[in-house]
């Protein structure tokens, strides 16, 4: 039996390698630095910024002018070229002069007269007024910006851009030429970089100290200095590889994000917005899930690179997850064997039961969720008295555990004693579910709020109809993983019972009830993708594989615009080279479209700082609003770009892959620092399956 499973796993890897592959070399990684009075500027009110041919940066503020010298700002007299924003009139190398005026766009050749320009491109014919900025780029093309949009004159050929072409915003203030034909546009709400194919919008405190841009100057390397009324920003473009980015995240996790001696990986809270020098570690309901996904990434890292550090990290993740099963045993409120806690807190700290009280549970049940459990205590103590452990564990925790255990067992467990410990952990958890009628039963002898997988509830209770497909998929994946790891046929028998007597395979054909793209809870999508991957990795029955593959294909198509590298790689690893046959013929289930390029773009653009800066995109002109039925009337603003895809990762906030990428207003107050696991899992998975290389 184990040989069959091993063969299936190897064939899955082989089929995944039939998917496309892309080599990713060094790319320009963007970081920003702010300068204000605290850093030596005479005033935060920055009026202008210039860079001369030698690279000297000159800044004019309301309090005086300074230059950047030896890493510090030095006051100077105000030079004529530093007064105001000279970007409204510019001269090309061939002597042409362009002028941006309220009355229009004007150009004159060397020694010639001024001529007003009337750009025409295809069916667009503009007579621009209120022209806000002009620039000649490094290829001597003329660019202008006005409320109608952006135009480029290349020789005698005009190209005109509006929101329909991806221009993010059009309330312009200035234009500046960048490196190699790149152009920057300042607006009253952010800055825009355009390289001829990609528009990059830099808005909000992730990128700028203030949103109204007064001036932009770009150095030879592409670093952009941006003047605002609240200070100066420099957005630097430094070469980096995806592997180098992974090392930065792993180092930061080891330094800040390992909570308790067991090392649960979780974001931290910063003392001051954006300042990572001081932080406080926190727990969450999903410590088990996030640690599982981080650990899964390290399993792929070890399998792909052979790194001893990666295996050490994977080992630590296993021990952390294993302890979530041990800590619930014994004490005054013991849980049944196999039950795993959500998270733990040391009893040397504050008692969390002072906050999570039965009274707060009753209020939650009365105002938000009629099936919410009232727990007393919600945080029992461990048998040794050292830990509070959080009860009422949910299905998403279990999804993470099983996803990790399978990968750790197959790819990273260092020896047979460790593999035996994995078998024991998986057997205890799965036996708990089977012995309690496919439910996760807490220390109070009752099922947890979300730990329901039995047919009486999923198939017959309307409160569970919407979770029927997803929870049927979950339990089938758990049982298949347990069968693979332990080799015990009783788990296969339990799965057959659910399939043959209660149609769980048919339930899984519609893994999620939703109303189209952008609808529903993205946490569900995260769980669905992990469980399909785990289930299909080991399933050998041809008929069941066809059902699961078709369902996975349909769900992936719905998620494709989200540019999610984890979702794309989980699907491609499973479905590349696979097909579905019915009465009408064969359907190729291989991933299609831009999934690989989108995945790499997201991995490149995930910000290095990981701070939950507030991000505003509701005002953009390149957005198609998402309304009913996907979003309820009156719901917060949501939408996607005119290219049909969600906003790029550096123009929204991504803490974990369960976030809502369609929301236009995101982020927080700049005081949560993500842990980087959001990058590590898809990156190392992409390397392992050879979707990406460096």
pLDDT tens for each residue of 346-389: 999 999 999 999 999 999 999 999 999 999 999 999 999 999 99
Q: Of 214, 240, 266, at which residue does a domain stop?
A: 240
Do 20 and 39 sit in the same domain of this protein? no
What total number of domains does the chain contain?
Answer: 2
Residue 16: its pLDDT value, please?
Answer: 53
Residue of 392, 399, 400 whose CA lies nearest to 449: 392
Report yes or no on 463 lying in a domain.
yes
| 3 state SS of 389 | strand
Q: What is the pLDDT of residue 311?
A: 97
Asked whether residue 250 is domain-assigned, the answer is no
Give the per-residue pLDDT at 81: 47
DSSP reduced 3-state for 364: helix
Q: Is residue 261 part of a domain?
A: no
Q: Are residues 431 and 547 in the same domain?
A: yes
On whether the CB atoms of residues 93 and 80 are closer than 8 A, the answer is no
Q: CA–CA separation, 15 vs 360, rounded Å?
A: 50
**Domain boundary at 240, 268, 301, which?**
240
Identify the CA nearest to 62 among candidates 49, 43, 81: 43
Give the pLDDT of residue 2: 38
Q: Around Cβ 247, how many Cβ atoms within 10 Å?
A: 12
8 Å CB contact between 165 and 121: no
Residue pair 213/174 in contact (Cβ under 8 Å)? The answer is yes
* 538 and 668 inside one domain: yes
Residues 411 and 538 in one domain: yes
Place of tokens 């014919």: 125
Q: Do residue 8 and residue 128 come from a single domain?
A: no
Backbone conformation region of residue 274, classed left if phi is above 0, alpha if psi is from -120 to 50, else beta: left
Answer yes or no: are the C-beta atoms of 209 and 191 closer than 8 Å: no
Does 271 reside within a domain?
Answer: no
- Give helix 308-326 / helix 287-305 axis angle, nearest 10°: 150
Does some domain include residue 540? Answer: yes
Establish if 602 belongs to a structural domain.
yes
Measured between alpha carbons, how far is 302 from 75 in angstroms, rounded to an integer? 53
Residue range(s) defining the domain that contains residue 62: 31-240
**Are 58 and 129 in the same domain?**
yes
- pLDDT, tens digit (0-9, with 9 covering 90-100), for 630-644: 998 889 999 999 999
444 and 343 housed in the same domain = yes
What is the DSSP code (8-state) at residue 469? H
Residue 440 backbone dihedrals phi, psi, to 5 degrees: -95, 110
CATH code of the domain covering residue 494: 1.50.10
Residues 15 and 77 in one domain: no
- Return the bridge partners of 270, or none: 279
Residues 428 and 553 in one domain: yes
Q: How many other C-beta atoms lie within 10 A of the C-beta of residue 643?
A: 12
d(CA 270, CA 148): 42
- Domain for residue 247, yes or no? no
Q: Are residues 576 and 636 in the same domain?
A: yes
| 78 contact partners, CB below 8 Å, separation of at least 6 | 60, 64, 65
Q: 343 and 458, same structural domain?
A: yes
Backbone angles phi, psi at 125, to 5 degrees: -135, 115
Which residues of the chain carry a pLDDT beneath 50?
1-11, 13-14, 80-86
Q: For position 521, what pLDDT does the model report?
A: 87
Tell me the three state secondary structure of residue 231.
Answer: strand
- Kindly state whether residues 14 and 160 are assigned to the same domain: no
**CA–CA separation, 569 and 586 (whole Å):** 23
Residue that is last in its domain, among 187, 207, 240:
240
Number of H helices, E strands in the chain: 16, 39
CATH code at position 109: 2.120.10.30
Q: Is 552 domain-assigned?
A: yes
């Amino acid at each position: 039996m184990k040989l069959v499973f091993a063969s299936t796993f190897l064939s899955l890897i082989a089929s995944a390698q039939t998917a496309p592959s892309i080599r990713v070399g060094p790319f320009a990684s963007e970081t920003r630095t702010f300068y204000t009075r605290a850093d030596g500027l005479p005033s935060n009110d920055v009026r202008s910024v210039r860079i001369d041919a030698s690279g000297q940066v000159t800044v004019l503020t309301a309090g005086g002018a300074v230059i950047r010298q030896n890493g510090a700002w030095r006051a100077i007299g105000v030079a004529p070229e530093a007064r105001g924003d000279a970007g409204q009139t510019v001269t090309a190398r061939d002597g042409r002069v362009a002028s941006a005026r309220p009355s229009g766009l004007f150009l004159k050749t060397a020694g010639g007269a001024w001529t007003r320009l009337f750009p025409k491109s295809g069916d667009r014919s503009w007579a621009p007024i209120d022209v806000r900025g002009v620039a000649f780029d490094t290829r001597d093309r003329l660019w202008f910006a006005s409320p109608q949009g952006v135009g480029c004159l290349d020789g005698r050929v005009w190209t005109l851009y509006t929101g329909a072409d991806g221009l993010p915003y059009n309330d312009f203030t200035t234009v500046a030429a960048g490196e190699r034909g790149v152009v920057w546009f300042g607006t009253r709400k952010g800055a825009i970089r355009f390289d001829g194919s990609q528009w990059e919008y830099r808005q909000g405190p992730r990128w700028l100290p203030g949103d109204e841009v007064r001036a932009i100057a770009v150095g030879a390397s592409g670093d952009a200095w941006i003047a605002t009324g609240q200070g100066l920003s420099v957005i630097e473009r430094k070469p980096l590889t995806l592997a180098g980015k992974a090392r930065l995240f792993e180092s930061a996790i080891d330094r800040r994000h390992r909570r308790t001696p067991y090392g649960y990986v979780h974001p931290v809270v910063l003392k001051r917005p954006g300042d990572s020098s001081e932080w406080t570690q926190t727990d969450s309901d999903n410590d088990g899930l996030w640690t599982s996904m981080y650990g899964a990434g390290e399993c792929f890292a070890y399998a792909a690179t052979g790194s001893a550090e990666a295996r050490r990290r994977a080992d630590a993740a296993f021990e952390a997850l294993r302890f979530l099963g041990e800590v619930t045993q014994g004490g005054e409120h013991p849980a049944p064997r196999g039950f795993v806690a959500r998270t733990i807190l040391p009893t040397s700290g504050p008692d969390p039961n002072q906050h999570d009280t039965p009274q707060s549970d009753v209020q939650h049940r009365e105002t938000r969720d009629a099936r919410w459990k009232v727990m007393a205590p919600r945080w029992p103590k461990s048998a040794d008295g050292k830990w509070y452990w959080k009860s009422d564990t949910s299905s998403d925790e279990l999804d993470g555990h099983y996803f990790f255990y399978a990968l750790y067992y197959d790819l990273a467990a260092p020896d047979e004693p460790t593999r035996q410990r994995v078998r024991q952990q998986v057997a205890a958890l799965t036996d708990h579910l089977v012995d309690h009628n496919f439910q996760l039963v807490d220390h109070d002898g009752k099922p947890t709020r979300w730990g329901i997988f039995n047919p009486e509830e999923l198939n017959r209770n309307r409160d569970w109809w919407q979770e029927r497909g997803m929870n049927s998929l979950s339990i089938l994946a758990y049982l298949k993983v347990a069968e693979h790891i332990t080799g015990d046929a009783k788990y296969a028998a339990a799965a057959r019972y659910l399939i043959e007597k209660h149609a769980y395979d048919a339930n899984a054909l519609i893994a999620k009830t939703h109303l189209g793209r952008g609808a529903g809870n993205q946490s569900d999508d995260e769980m669905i993708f992990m469980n399909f991957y785990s289930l299909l990795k080991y399933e050998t029955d041809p008929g069941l594989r066809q059902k699961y593959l078709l369902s996975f294909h349909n769900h992936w198509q719905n998620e494709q615009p989200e540019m999610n590298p984890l979702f794309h790689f989980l699907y491609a690893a499973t479905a590349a080279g696979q097909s579905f046959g019915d009465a009408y013929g064969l359907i190729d289930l291989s991933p299609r479209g831009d999934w690989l390029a989108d995945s790499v773009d997201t991995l490149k653009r995930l910000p290095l700082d990981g701070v939950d800066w507030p991000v505003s995109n509701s005002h953009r002109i390149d957005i198609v609003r998402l309304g009913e039925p996907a979003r309820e009337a009156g719901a917060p603003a949501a939408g996607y770009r005119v290219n049909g895809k969600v906003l790029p990762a550096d123009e929204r906030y991504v803490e974990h892959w369960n976030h809502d990428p369609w929301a236009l207003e995101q982020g927080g107050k700049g005081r949560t620092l993500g842990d980087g696991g959001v990058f590590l899992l898809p990156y190392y998975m992409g390397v392992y399956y050879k979707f990406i290389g460096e």
